[in-house]
Amino acid sequence: MTAAVELQEIGPEHAEQMLRWMLDPDVADNVGLRSQPTLERTLEWIAKAQTRGTTRAWAIVHAGEHVGNVVLDCLDSHLQSARLSIYLGEATARGQGVASTALRLALGRGFNGLELHRIWLTVHERNTRAALLYARLGFRLEGILRDEFLLRGKRVNALMMSILRPDFLRPAP
């Protein structure tokens, strides 16, 4: 079992760590970064996330260390839906169940705290490890977005996946 994982609201104190991760080509490629990251841009994103009613952003804390982020954005109160994104910036946190625990916590906050009905995401098709994790947590494939993602200058398909509140609340068999 993995050490305790918790979610903390993202704040300016997380900016330098986030910038370091965005400067890592592997992380930047998988999140689809479109511009050169800077500390100023990172702080601006955090400030917007804290004040924008359509975004909830959390730092993933594992064994007392900030190791990644999970975000619900595109929050639509009428449709009760949101888009989910997650990344573990610290390579040492990968493969230990941190992401699955953080995802379960974020889904719980979305479905129970925000009273969402549907949480969706896209993941490029070459990120098979993430796609399999999402499927294990109850996400279902809704479709393939052809050539939707640029990965190191090459077009790849993106998978559209979602999970509904009843599927998340249903006990595992």
Q: What percent of the chain has pLDDT over 90?
A: 80
More confident call, 72 vs 31: 72
* Cβ atoms of residues 42 and 12 within 8 Å: no
With 50 as the cut, is the pLDDT of residue 1 above it? no
The Cα–Cα gap between 59 and 53 comes to 18
- Predicted pLDDT at 171: 62
Average pLDDT, the chain: 92
CA neighbor of 160 nearest in space, from 172, 173, 148: 148
118: pLDDT confidence band, cut at 50, 70 and 90? very high
The Cα 10–Cα 129 span in angstroms is 25
What's the pLDDT tens digit per position in 134-167?
999 999 999 999 999 988 889 999 999 999 999 9
Q: Is the pLDDT of residue 124 over 80?
A: yes
pLDDT at 119 over 60: yes
The domain limits of the chain are 5-169
Give me the mean pLDDT over the 85-99 stretch: 92
Which of the following CATH numbers is that of domain 5-169: 3.50.50.60, 3.40.50.300, 3.40.630.30, 3.40.190.10?
3.40.630.30
What pLDDT sits at residue 153?
85
Mean pLDDT on 31-54 = 89
Query: Which residues, 6+ apart, have CB-to-CB distance to 127 below 8 Å?
Result: 30
